[in-house]
Amino acid sequence: MPSDPTSAHLPFGDQRSAPWYGKDIISVKQFHRGDLQYIFDVAHEMRGMVERVGTFDLLKGKILANLFYEPSTRTSSSFTAAMERLGGSVIPINEVQYSSVTKGETLTDTVRTLECYADVIVLRHPETGSAAKAAEAARKPVINAGDGTGEHPTQALLDIFTIREELGKLDNLTVTMLGDLKYGRTVHSLARLLLNFDDIRLNYVSPEILRMPGDVMEEVKARGVTQAEFTGLDEVLPETDVLYVTRVQKERFEDANAYETVKGAYVIDPVVMKAARHNMIVMHPLPRVGEISMELDSDPRAAYFRQMEYGLYVRMALLAIVLGKA
């Protein structure tokens, strides 16, 4: 290890010919196993660098436009922290009501505006397909930070990185997704991204009206991965390596009464967890609204707070990669 920690053996440098330089990140379908290995190796190095030096100048002079049309705490602030820890800066547009969006500006015009000032655009938007639309209009890289009920690729990348760091493997896993599998974009991306690994078994536990969408299940089936649906957790919890809990997405229901029938459908607490393995983990993209009790937070299997921190390293890696510095 060199004595100057900022010149450590990182795969960093100016690598504008690298495959991800200047690319958009719209869907997890863009990533194959080799890409994931590369991103996670860079993320792992980012973790080491943050622990050793905190902030360093890999992206000095680069600017990120953080454009959020939907609420966000973790995704928005972790992209900001990621850019600032790499020495870059951020144009935050978290409150689109104070921007020209309120005057009726289209998404594509807003994106074309921001790319005049920034090197990369992170976009969260309520419409499925909006990130692809923005990327089509933009010359600079667009990173999808959640497009309606579609995808949330950077969340899925950090979810898989969490599994790798916590369990030390990505093959031969039983992953149980629980909660709102219909509207939850994180599980749509995660199920697809897990198809890159071997011997994966997917369990979907949800109320009848919140089942995993057919298109995602078709893709899983086409890759020959075992999947099964349940309405209760009891049958599958004992064999689960990763329990991925999600919030019921109140804001996406067309019928408020339907939400009332399924809110609070599942609560994971220490009593429920007695049936789970000792060496499994519980994950959640957060925010939680009652589906994991606070009494579980001190259980070593509760990985959801650590998961947020892994998100910082993965987003640092992604920014460095699309800006040609990793």
Catalytic residue IDs:
74-75, 103, 124, 152
Q: Taking CB under 6 A as the rule, does residue 155 contact ligand NCD?
A: yes
Q: Taking CB under 6 A as the rule, does residue 189 contact ligand NCD?
A: no
Residue of 62, 185, 192, 325 interacting with ligand NCD (CB under 6 A):
185
Residue of 268, 271, 263 lying closest to 284 (CA atoms): 268
The residue (of 88 and 146) whose beta carbon lies closer to ligand NCD is: 146
The verdict on whether omega for the bond into residue 287 sits within 30 degrees of 0, i.e. cis, is yes
Q: Taking CB under 6 A as the rule, does residue 247 contact ligand NCD?
A: yes
Ranges within 96-115 binding ligand NCD (CB under 6 A): none
The residue (of 56 and 183) whose beta carbon lies closer to ligand NCD is: 183
3-class SS of residue 205? strand
Element of type H or E holding 64: strand 63-68
Question: What is the residue whose two structure tokens read 């994971």?
Answer: 268
Q: Taking CB under 6 A as the rule, does residue 66 contact ligand NCD?
A: no
The residue (of 45 and 151) whose beta carbon lies closer to ligand NCD is: 151
| Cα 21 from chain centre | 20
The residue (of 159 and 166) whose beta carbon lies closer to ligand NCD is: 159
Q: Taking CB under 6 A as the rule, does residue 152 contact ligand NCD?
A: yes
CA distances from 161 to 103, 168, 299 (A): 40, 10, 20
The residue (of 110 and 186) whose beta carbon lies closer to ligand NCD is: 186
The 10 Å Cβ neighbour count of residue 207 is 18
CA distance 150 to 136: 17
**Beta-bridge mates of residue 185:** none
Per-residue string for binding with ligand NCD, 22-51, x by CB under 6 A?
A: ------------------------------
Q: Taking CB under 6 A as the rule, does residue 250 contact ligand NCD?
A: no
Q: Taking CB under 6 A as the rule, does residue 277 contact ligand NCD?
A: no
Q: How many residues bind ligand NCD (CB under 6 A)?
A: 11
Q: Taking CB under 6 A as the rule, does residue 76 contact ligand NCD?
A: no
- The CA angle 299-193-243, to the nearest 5 degrees, is 20
The tokens for 26 are 């719209």
The residue (of 141 and 146) whose beta carbon lies closer to ligand NCD is: 146
Q: How far is the CB of 186 from ligand NCD (least distance, A)?
A: 5
Q: How far is the CB of 314 from ligand NCD (least distance, A)?
A: 12
Residue of 44, 74, 164, 263 interacting with ligand NCD (CB under 6 A):
74
Question: What is the residue whose two structure tokens read 């010359």?
Answer: 139
Q: Taking CB under 6 A as the rule, does residue 75 contact ligand NCD?
A: yes
Question: What is the residue whose two structure tokens read 């992170």?
Answer: 122
Ranges within 278-297 binding ligand NCD (CB under 6 A): 285-286
Q: How far is the CB of 147 from ligand NCD (least distance, A)?
A: 10
The 10 Å Cβ neighbour count of residue 33 is 12
The tokens for 146 are 């959640």
CA distance 43 to 41: 5
DSSP 198: S
CA distance 159 to 164: 9
Q: Which residues bind ligand NCD (CB under 6 A)?
A: 74-75, 146, 152, 155, 185-186, 247, 249, 285-286
